[in-house]
């Protein structure tokens, strides 16, 4: 017997990655043939996702009531962004469009990848892979906009991964969960065990 809330949650957790994958796939396919307006739309999407992804992690951890995870995410996010800014100001790598010498690493990609790597470290790859796809899309938008090279994106992903693996501990799941259910004419007990 599955409760309505867990059934909806299971459905959303199974469908959300598929929907995200379809959206990103179509964006990447059509993005290669993009007009200037479509290219601008991809850039705007990357701008939004770089903020929405970390904000989404915060909302998720607040919803779960995981204060420890929220604190760990805050530390890994701050450390990743601080290291990103320090490297930008000390490496002096010129952007592909020649606008300045702050190309390495990408700040947009650092914001996106810290959300993905935090979720991977804290909750496992099955929760994180859609965020990795979205973070890669953010990186792609920066390369397409001629603001970064792929090495800048890879540097951001490496920084985010290093800080997440250093500052974040995996969530401790309950070993045994007992869920009582009371329905008209039915009383049941669900036991979920993890070992």
Distances (CA, A) of 79 to 72, 131, 136: 11, 19, 20
Nearest by Cα to 148 from 185, 91, 87, 102: 102
pTM: 0.72
Radius of gyration of the chain (CA): 20
pLDDT string in tens for the chain (195-residue length): 444 444 434 444 445 555 445 545 554 444 444 456 677 889 999 999 999 999 999 999 999 999 999 999 999 999 999 999 999 999 999 999 999 999 999 999 999 999 999 999 999 999 999 999 999 999 999 999 999 999 999 999 999 999 999 999 999 764 555 556 666 676 666 665 555
3-state DSSP assignment of residue 71: helix
Task: Give the single-character DSSP code of 193.
Answer: E
The residues, ordered by sequence, that sit 6+ positions from 134 with a Cβ below 8 Å of its Cβ are 20, 24, 49, 53, 112, 116
Class of residue 138 by CB neighbours under 10 A (exposed 0-12, middle 13-18, buried 19+): buried
| Tokens encoding 9 | 């949650």
Chain-centre distance of CA 109, in angstroms? 10
């Amino acid at each position: 017997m599955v409760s309505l809330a867990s059934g909806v949650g299971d459905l959303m957790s199974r469908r959300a990655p598929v929907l995200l994958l379809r959206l990103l796939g179509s964006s990447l396919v059509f993005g290669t043939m993009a007009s200037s307006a479509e290219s601008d739309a991809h850039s705007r999407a990357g701008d939004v996702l770089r903020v929405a992804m970390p904000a989404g992690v915060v909302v998720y951890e607040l919803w779960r009531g995981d204060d420890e995870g929220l604190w760990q995410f805050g530390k890994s996010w701050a450390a990743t962004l601080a290291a990103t800014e320090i490297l930008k100001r000390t490496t002096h790598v010129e952007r592909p469009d020649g606008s300045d010498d702050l190309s390495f690493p990408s700040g947009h990609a650092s914001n996106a990848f810290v959300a993905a790597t935090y979720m991977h470290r804290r909750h496992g790859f099955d929760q994180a892979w859609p965020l990795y796809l979205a973070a890669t899309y953010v990186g792609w938008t920066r390369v397409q906009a001629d603001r970064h090279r792929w090495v800048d994106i890879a540097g951001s992903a490496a920084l985010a991964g290093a800080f997440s693996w250093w500052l974040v501990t995996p969530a401790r799941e309950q070993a045994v969960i007992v869920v009582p259910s009371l329905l008209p004419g039915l009383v049941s007990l669900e036991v979920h065990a993890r070992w």
